Amino acid sequence: MNSATPTFAMMSDNDKEQQLVNYLKGLIMDGVRQANSGHTGGAFSSVDFAYVLFQKHLRFDPEDSGWFNRDRFILSAGHESMLIYSLLHLQGYLDMEELKNFRQLGSKTPGHPEYGLTAGVEATTGPLGQGVGMAVGMALAAQIARSHLGEDIVDSYTYALCGDGDLQEPVALGTCQLAGHYGLNRLILFYDFNKIQISGQVDRNDSTDIAQMFRSFQWNVLEIDGNDHGAIDQAILHAQCSKEKPTIIIGHTTMAKGCATMEGSADTHGAPLPHEEIAATKRRLGIPEDASFYIPQEALNFFRRRFPLLREHRRSWEKAIQDRAKADHNFTPLLEQFTRSMVPPIDYPNLDEKMPTRKAFGKLLEAVADQYIAFAGGSADLEPSNNTTGFMQKVQDYSRDFHQGRSIPFGVREFPMGAIINGMQLYGIKSFGATFLVFSDYMRASLRLAALQNIGTMFIFTHDSVSLGEDGPTHQPIEHLPSLRLIPGLHVLRPADALETRYAFDHALHSQNPTVLALTRQDLEPVTSAYYHNGGSFSQGGYILRKENGELELVIIATGSEVKLALDSAAKIEETLGKGVRVVNMPCCELFDMQSADYRNDILPPCTTTVAIEAAATGGWYKYTGRQGLVIGIDQFGESAPADKLLQHFGFTQESVVDKIIKFLK
């Protein structure tokens, strides 16, 4: 900053706005340079939109980043993380020391924004496209909440910022198709169209007419100079007035806008600027060259001049809450469902009978439909197969004309469904999405992000084994159960019968961890009645279902549809060999592994021969059986045939299992 440059206090308000943007660029440059890692160019091209949004339009509580009726801002282009961290510093949510520790171990400023770690970060983003999907989910959840709680309680907007890479990921396009179909008019997406990717010019790989594509998706489309503050302001105001459609603001921007010599360069995308470029850019932007992470207090005060109005808006909202609570005694419990994730008492049906566990799930859904309003979800065009039809008929489909509907018609869009239900969960609605277990492959990235964010999304996967039958190997899951169990923090629940499905469902409903319910197509005989009627707990993950007769010599572990087979086989082995055989039902390995060592050793004595049975790939079970143990599973792809023929073919009959175990013991 030279002597001719006026001080911040001497500038006009318009000049102060621009200088604040310059200071943000300085923070971005310094953070990326100090970490020697990160993305500068995209953050520079996006900063004008983000600044105008945060300064003039975004509603938040300066003292409470988790206020329910806040506007949500999702940085889908998560590699631009120094942009949001710098803005969070202006909001007062993030200390300057955290900006200086960008991308360092233990900081609140990791390489990509992480929900639950940093105040003001609404979603964990970075894998491109998913932030757009979660934003759609948040906007959908807000519309549902608004329809049930009232427009005076929920009047927030959902904003998202994306780049070229986001819109090249099909998950983003699938969710945007749905956003237009649903008519999510309070969703505003800013597309930073700077035409540069890590590898160079976007036109090397893409010539899509984005504007025309989004018009076909039933979106409002606005095209502006994305570095012009006045145009940005007017575009946001225009988007806020939309009554029927979401809005995309296509901002034509310049990569690394404001750099001294590297404007428009792909070299600024995924790397820090050279030291000499930073010095020259600071001179150009009116920032002291010898000062790192520079922003004067008077500039912070200027940004925060809107804080009194924001606080007053929060107080008005609190008053509306109090007035509604006085007028309607049912309002507070309903509000707490949305704002505090309060699950009401559920009157579950009696499920102690023979049926497929997918059918039991359908009955549970219908029970919840009547009592838990902050609960929504749907199926990826498999309502009859996933048994979600009854729920759909009770609560009705969400549509652009009926926002109270809590059945979400996703169509054949498994990955978009996963991203959307994660967004709904982040907003405050307990959410589920259903499809076949084999198609969890399409959703794995969203499953991983749900676990990384530690949010309680429910993933319902039916047709959980080769017993689905004639559809054959393309539809028969083999490796899916063990592969899902590898995701840290994800609870994979495979109940043994209809009654246990109730307890698994209740665990999922209350869980802060994401859960998978793996459910059968075929009937299962009741096997857990005595355990649960005598006060047994699902929360332990694994338990003794059949005690050994006499001295314990063998433990058989099983899950889901194989538990009955394990019980029958254990009885036959005891009868044949006179050995004491215990059967352990393991509906959730993750919960079992969380128990004390004493409990686990009591259930699975370390020195006892152990066998595991599951109609899936075998690898994950050796941690319980030991390397010398026996695992009866399926380590090849399935076949097309009726279920009973397949079970016989793969050796899942009592005769085959008993024969294998006896040979193993001998």
Coil, strand, or helix at residue 571?
Answer: helix
C-alpha to C-alpha distance for 440 and 445, rounded to whole angstroms: 9
**148 falls within a domain:** yes
Q: In the beta sheet, which residues pair with residue 355?
A: 524
**350 falls within a domain:** no
> What stretches in the chain show pLDDT beneath 50?
1, 3
Exposed, middle or buried by CB within 10 Å (0-12, 13-18, 19+), for 638? buried
- Any idea which residues carry the catalytic annotation? 414
DSSP conformation class of 267: G
H-helix segments, 55-105: 81-91, 96-100
- How many domains would you assign to the chain? 3
- Let me know whether 90 and 110 are in one domain: yes
Q: For tokens 């109940």, name the residue.
A: 495
Parallel, antiparallel or unpaired: strands 375-379 and 552-558: unpaired
Structural domain ending residue among the three candidates 251, 273, 308: 308
- Quick one: tokens of 666? 């001998």
Q: For tokens 């631009």, name the residue.
A: 80
Here the CATH number for the domain that contains residue 508 is: 3.40.50.970
Judge contact between 613 and 565, C-beta under 8 A. Answer: yes
- Let me know whether 437 and 547 are in one domain: no
Residue 354, CB-side half-sphere exposure with 13 Å CA sphere: 4
Q: For tokens 């309060």, name the residue.
A: 342
- Let me know whether 405 and 509 are in one domain: yes
**119 falls within a domain:** yes
- In the annotated binding site for Mg(2+), the residues are 164, 194, 196
**321 falls within a domain:** no
Domain, as residue range, for 76: 8-308
Give the distance between the most distant pair of CA atoms in the chain. Answer: 98
- Let me know whether 104 and 124 are in one domain: yes
User: Which stretch of DSSP H or E encloses residue 431?
Assistant: strand 430-436
Give which of 90, 178, 169, 94 is closest to 126, Cα–Cα.
169
Structural domain ending residue among the three candidates 506, 529, 552: 529
Measured N-to-C along each axis, helices 41-52 and 229-240 cross at an angle, to the nearest 10 degrees, of 60
Here the CATH number for the domain that contains residue 590 is: 3.40.50.920
Coil, strand, or helix at residue 232?
Answer: helix
- In the annotated binding site, the residues are 39, 79, 126-128, 164-165, 194, 196, 269, 358, 385, 439, 463, 471, 475, 521
- Let me know whether 472 and 411 are in one domain: yes
- Let me know whether 517 and 544 are in one domain: no
**91 falls within a domain:** yes
**480 falls within a domain:** yes
Query: Can you give the three-state secondary structure of 630-643, one letter per residue?
Result: EEECCCCCCCCCCH
- Amino acid residing at 195: K
C-alpha to C-alpha distance for 588 and 595, rounded to whole angstroms: 12
pLDDT score for 5: 61
Give which of 460, 444, 405 is closest to 143, Cα–Cα.
405
Give which of 379, 396, 386 is closest to 431, Cα–Cα.
379
**320 falls within a domain:** no
User: Which stretch of DSSP H or E encloses residue 13?
Assistant: helix 13-35
Coil, strand, or helix at residue 255?
Answer: coil
- Let me know whether 514 and 554 are in one domain: no
**0.85 exceeded by pTM:** yes
- In the annotated binding site for substrate, the residues are 39, 269, 358, 385, 463, 471, 475, 521
pLDDT digit string (tens) for 312-331? Answer: 999 999 999 999 999 999 99
- Let me know whether 490 and 549 are in one domain: no
**325 falls within a domain:** no
Residue 224, CB-side half-sphere exposure with 13 Å CA sphere: 25
- Let me know whether 506 and 600 are in one domain: no
Judge contact between 363 and 392, C-beta under 8 A. Answer: no
pLDDT score for 4: 53
pLDDT score for 3: 47
User: Which stretch of DSSP H or E encloses residue 173?
Assistant: helix 170-182
pLDDT score for 367: 97
Structural domain ending residue among the three candidates 502, 529, 556: 529
pLDDT score for 143: 98
- Let me know whether 235 and 383 are in one domain: no
- Let me know whether 362 and 484 are in one domain: yes
- Let me know whether 131 and 260 are in one domain: yes
